[in-house]
Amino acid sequence: MASVRENRIKTAIREGRKAYGYNLVFPSPWVVEVLGYLDFDFVWIDGEHGPWSLDQLEDICRVATQAGATPVARVPDIGSSTILRFLDRGVQGIMGPHIGTKADAEQLAKACLFGPEGDRSFGGNRGSEYDFIAPDEKVQYYKDSNANMLVGALLEDKSVIDELDGILEVPGIDYYSIGHNDFAQSLGYPGDYTNPAVQDAMNDIYDRIRKAGKKVAGDFMVTDWVHAMLLNAGKELLAGK
């Protein structure tokens, strides 16, 4: 019978090491296949800003799995039906955008996890092994799926400054990150996330997260954008003209 695939990021967390991956803002199975030769731990899919259809998303997940990389994704919103569409394709990690309140964090965690921790729906598709699971193994399958699901909260709104303590109380969130561009804009500094006021606010949030015994993305994930890799390599090549 089918079993839950290992989430290499969560394995890295348990082993106390960093996971290495790359970010895709455009659908390209070929990129995932080529980079598979380098044995990255994960591929991070930008499902909020990228032009992803569901079949393209599933193709990326399929190729990533074949390459041994765990597919994770930022979703457009934290609605249960939105998140489920990503999980049903085979994504094993969700980053929820604009988590500004405790209620937002609770909604995110519940949508990502099977019961009793959450209320994720089960469907007979790629994300649930096409239901090739023995009836007496399904309870354990739910537990293993939850154990291999990475849930991240993206903090992007100034409300986080006042709401952070409540957000950090929510079980089921593995890590937190700050969307610096949107956060700066919400503070009144559009396009200026390097402003000292923005930097101070972000550093304070990160300090509060760590003091609460929680993790931020940089504590265990090392990643870069594929389009940045391409542009940087192109610049180096052109510099030799």
Q: What is the mean pLDDT of the chain?
A: 97
Q: Is 174 domain-assigned?
A: yes
How many domains does the chain contain in total? 1
Q: Is 207 domain-assigned?
A: yes
Look-up: residue for tokens 């921790």? Answer: 117
For residue 150, the cross-strand partners are 93
- Tell how strand 19-24 and strand 42-46 pair up: parallel
Task: Give 36-94 pLDDT, tens digit per residue.
Answer: 999 999 999 999 999 999 999 999 999 999 999 999 999 999 999 999 999 999 999 99
pTM above 0.85, yes or no: yes
Position 1 confidence tier, pLDDT thresholds 50, 70, 90: low
Average of per-residue pLDDT across 18-44: 97
Residues sharing a CB contact under 8 Å with residue 2, sequence separation 6 or more, in sequence order: 129, 130, 132, 133
- Which range of residues forms the domain containing residue 228? 8-239
Q: Is 220 domain-assigned?
A: yes
| Residue 216 DSSP label | B
Task: Give 137-193 pLDDT, tens digit per residue.
Answer: 999 999 999 999 999 999 999 999 999 999 999 999 999 999 999 999 999 999 999
pLDDT at res. 237: 94
Q: Is 1 domain-assigned?
A: no
- Residues 68 and 35 sit within 8 Å (Cβ to Cβ): no
Q: Is 3 domain-assigned?
A: no
- Residues 223 and 25 sit within 8 Å (Cβ to Cβ): no
Q: Is 2 domain-assigned?
A: no
**CATH no. for residue 205?**
3.20.20.60
